[in-house]
Amino acid sequence: MPGFEIFGEEEKKEIMDVLDTGVLFRYEFHDQRNGVYKVKEFEEKFARYCGCEHAQAVTSGTAALKVALMALGIGPGDEVITQGFTFVATWEAIFEVGAIPVFTEVDRTLNMDPADLEKKITSRTKCIIPVHMLGAQARIKEIIKIADKYSIPVLEDTAQAAGGTLDGKYLGTFGRCGTFSFDSVKTMTTGEGGMVITGDGELKKTMSEYHDHGHDHKVNPGGRGGEGRRFIGFNYRMMEIQGAIGIAQLAKLDSMIVAQKRNKAKLKEGASKIPGVSFRELMDEDGDTATFFTFILQDSEQCKRVNESLRADGFGAINWAENSWHFYPAWEHLLGGKTTSSCGYPFVSPGGKRRVIYDPEALPKSADLMGKTLVYPVSIKMGEEVLDNMCKALEKAAGA
């Protein structure tokens, strides 16, 4: 990761198709377009790639989560279960629709622990969002089985795992819908941008309308603005240049994953010499996108010693226990109930009653696991010299 490493003539060609028309907006201006509708084409190709019927392009992976939640009818009074190891966007979107995030432990997949999931389900649980973190599969089949038992829809957050599969089926296609991010550090990127995929035509219709101020997009004599609206919406439209880049990047996705797998395999070979090291549990190694390389030490003390050695050689790894973007105990704004709202919403209701309080020690199993886990992002073009030096640093850290 990320896809900008291999920007080339393909992206330039797609972008020039747009610039030659002068139309950056994804709708209307039919006479000027000369048949060029890049966002629509990107949606169709992405859906076909994933093996599902529908795709809705939006402005970001965060927007994709909100649009999907709104289409599923999630709102105030509802609880949505997700995991305590994810990017902040997952739970920000839950708050954004008025619902309350509930967090589960993660297991050695570094994704949602199905056993803890079932413990967290209540009568108010209206959606479950497992996250395919760091490019690899959650125990999605087990999660779907539990969700079906309680008739709860599953929304797969596949932001970091575009192109990933489980037993030959693409991630994002197991639940009612799946969301993706194409931001600047994703394996395939449009700079900013996101996608929701689904096999449900009615859900797609609702997402299409909601992401464009509620417009129903029916052809009418008055042109844009004359459409009907079933409900209020908002603006999460992807623009044509993003769609153009997405088309070119999607065509390269499989080859990007192949390159990442090759680089990850070499890093794993280097790390395997560390005493007591183990590796993240993968549900399907063939379906891993290899976006990240994860290795787990015996305890947090060994983890610190190893990473100190790696840092001394200029190859320090990410320790998620120290990272404030992705792990529950480090989300000080969540734990502290910090908000710009004068009434304290979403942590406090307009009437002054506290809606939710988060305990920083609520996920002890995850905290133990994260405290001894190190991660490297895997690039597409790491270079043999860089890989060799990283492996030497890992081998040296074996004595730490």
DSSP 213-269: TTB-----TT-TT-S-BSS---B-PPPHHHHHHHHHHHHHHHHHHHHHHHHHHHHHH
Q: Which of 71-80, 213-222, 338-347, 370-379 has the lowest mean pLDDT?
A: 213-222
Predicted pLDDT at 313? 97
Predicted pLDDT at 400? 84
Cα–Cα distance, 370 to 367 (Å, whole number): 5
Q: Which amino acid is at 100?
A: I
Predicted pLDDT at 110? 98
Predicted pLDDT at 323? 81
Predicted pLDDT at 224? 79
Selection from 375, 376, 368 nearest residue 298 by Cα: 368
Q: Which of 41-50, 60-69, 225-234, 338-347 has the lowest mean pLDDT?
A: 225-234
Q: Does residue 148 have a pLDDT over 80?
A: yes
Q: Predicted confidence band at 129 (pLDDT cuts at 50, 70, 90)?
A: very high
Q: Does residue 364 have a pLDDT over 90?
A: yes
Predicted pLDDT at 246? 98
Q: Does residue 134 have a pLDDT over 90?
A: yes
- Mean pLDDT for 336-348 is 96
| Mean pLDDT, the chain, integer | 96
Q: Which domains does the chain have, with CATH numbers?
A: 3-253 (3.40.640.10), 254-397 (3.90.1150.10)
Numbers of helices and strands, H then E, in the chain: 13, 13
Please say whether the beta carbons of 101 and 88 come within 8 A.
no
Which residues form the catalytic set? 186
Q: Which amino acid is at 261?
A: K
Q: Does residue 97 have a pLDDT over 80?
A: yes
Q: Which of 130-139, 244-253, 323-332 has the lowest mean pLDDT?
A: 323-332
Please say whether the beta carbons of 216 and 229 come within 8 A.
yes
Cα–Cα distance, 144 to 138 (Å, whole number): 11
Question: pLDDT tens-digit profile of 20-71?
Answer: 999 999 999 999 999 999 999 999 999 999 999 999 999 999 999 999 999 9
Q: Predicted confidence band at 1 (pLDDT cuts at 50, 70, 90)?
A: low
Predicted pLDDT at 131? 98
Strands 318-319 and 373-377: antiparallel
Q: Predicted confidence band at 220 (pLDDT cuts at 50, 70, 90)?
A: confident
Q: Predicted confidence band at 2 (pLDDT cuts at 50, 70, 90)?
A: confident
Predicted pLDDT at 116? 98
pTM listed for this prediction = 0.96
Positive or negative: CA dihedral 141, 143, 149, 152? negative
- List all residues 6 or more positions away from 18 whose beta carbon is below 8 Å from its beta carbon: 24, 36, 38, 240, 241, 244
Predicted pLDDT at 221? 67
- Mean pLDDT for 235-256 is 98
More confident residue, 221 or 354: 354
Phi, psi (deg, nearest 5) at residue 329: -65, -15
Alpha helix stretches (DSSP H) within the chain: 9-21, 30-33, 38-50, 61-71, 89-96, 114-120, 140-149, 201-210, 240-271, 300-312, 332-335, 364-371, 384-397
| Prior bond of 350 cis (ω within 30°) | no
Q: Predicted confidence band at 253 (pLDDT cuts at 50, 70, 90)?
A: very high
Predicted pLDDT at 226? 79
Share of the chain above pLDDT 70, in %: 99
